[in-house]
């Protein structure tokens, strides 16, 4: 799963440690999410969304979704 966490953090001049503290996780976890090595749970994704005042899908993006937002997997089921 791709995400904009690093960009959002950089926009606010926050360090990884500050973001980790705000999300109540370790700095290692923030780094692993930013680099795409680890996908956060839904509660953590909600906390991040609340912190930045955005919706989850504005931060996290499923690469399986097409550029127009449609999901080819779902459309195959509907056909």
Q: In angstroms, what is the minimal distance from the CB of 59 to another protein?
A: 12
User: Is 6 or 65 the residue whose CB approaches another protein more closely?
Assistant: 6
Distance in angstroms (rounded) separating the CA atoms of residues 71 and 46: 22
Distance in angstroms (rounded) separating the CA atoms of residues 54 and 44: 13
From residue 15 to residue 54, what is the string marking binding to another protein with x (rule CB under 8 A)?
--xxxxxx-xxxxxx-xx----xx-xx--x----------
User: Is 27 or 65 the residue whose CB approaches another protein more closely?
Assistant: 27
Per DSSP, the three-state class of 57 is: helix
């Amino acid at each position: 799963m791709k995400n904009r966490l690093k960009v959002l953090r950089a926009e606010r001049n926050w360090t990884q440690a500050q973001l980790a503290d705000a999300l109540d996780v370790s700095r290692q976890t923030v780094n692993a999410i930013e680099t795409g090595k680890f996908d956060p749970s839904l509660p953590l994704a909600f906390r991040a969304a609340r912190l930045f005042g955005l919706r989850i899908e504005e931060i996290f993006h499923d690469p399986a979704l097409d550029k127009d937002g449609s999901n080819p997997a779902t459309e195959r089921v509907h056909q």
